[in-house]
Amino acid sequence: MSITVQDICQTLEAFAPLNLQESYDNAGLLVGELDTPVRAVLVCLDVTESVMEEAVAKGCNMVVSHHPLIFKGVKAITGPDRITRCLIKAIQHNIALYACHTNADSVFDGVNGRMAEMLHLQDCRILASKPGETHVGLGMLGRLNTPMPVESFLQEVKRVFNVHTLRHSGYEPHAVIRTVALCGGSGSEFYTDAKRAGADVFITADVKFHAFFTQGSPVLLVDAGHFETEQFTKALFVELLSKKFPTFAVHISTAETNPVHYF
């Protein structure tokens, strides 16, 4: 029996149900028909023209991304920008597009759980739980098995996430990091949750200038980059699909790179 687009969708949604996505999001099947047989899947963070070309070259007729290609209304598919050019390529080559975004952020073993795992955090819990839930919500809080001096911890963050440059707020030279809060992607609004939870540091991305004015707060604010904090999501999707369909080809995109460059 062949694996269909619907089989892939159901596997991803069993892990990260669509009803967990934020109200502004657009997760789910964006292009394609549920009964289409799938030859192979390509996994990425963002759908780009190079990713679509890679899918065609590798014979993948389904692309699973973290960020939705279609986020706002598309009024015409005529190819003047990345989004519509990718849509045209998907339709021309009968490639299904699926996004697993804030619903994957909200489950315990999702995006933030994988970040916590990479940092070897212990006793983890959701940082900002959804009402009435304990294992569903955004962000993660955990503790280091062995407390680290702040500069040693920052070096470890750079190593784990392969970050060229860290942006961070000020800190006391002799500060020690024990409890870590984090939120992959743009999560600076959860800084107050990290403070309330007694975290020593909060790691996220896309932090605006004025948010770094944290004088008087015991929580070190660290911007480790959007791509960098979410990069492990690709492996998460591959593991999920490969476990469900062990003889099925699931590839991590090698064409996709961080769109942010450092000089």
Domain locations along the chain: 5-104+231-252, 107-223
Give the pLDDT of residue 25. 97
pTM over 0.75: yes
Give the pLDDT of residue 263. 87
CA angle 150, 151, 156 (to 5 degrees): 95
Give the pLDDT of residue 163. 94
Q: Sorting pLDDT into bands at 50, 70 and 90, what band is 134?
A: confident
Phi, psi of 86 (to 5 degrees): -70, -40
Q: Sorting pLDDT into bands at 50, 70 and 90, what band is 173?
A: confident
Average model confidence (pLDDT) for the chain?
96
Percent of the chain at pLDDT > 90 equals 92
Q: Sorting pLDDT into bands at 50, 70 and 90, what band is 129?
A: very high
Q: Stretch 86-114: mean pLDDT, rounded?
A: 97
On whether the CB atoms of residues 127 and 204 are closer than 8 A, the answer is no
Same fold, 5-104+231-252 and 107-223: yes
Amino acid letter for position 125: R
Give the pLDDT of residue 103. 98
CA distances from 174 to 107, 148, 151, 152, 246 (A): 35, 10, 9, 11, 49
Question: Rounded to whole angstroms, how far apart are CA atoms 16 and 10?
Answer: 10
What CATH number does the domain located at 107-223 have? 3.40.1390.30
Q: Stretch 213-229: mean pLDDT, rounded?
A: 95
Alpha carbon 213 to its chain's center: 26
On whether the CB atoms of residues 87 and 31 are closer than 8 A, the answer is yes
Percent of the chain at pLDDT > 70 equals 100
CA dihedral 213, 203, 251, 78 (to 10 degrees): -20
5-104+231-252: CATH topology is: 3.40.1390
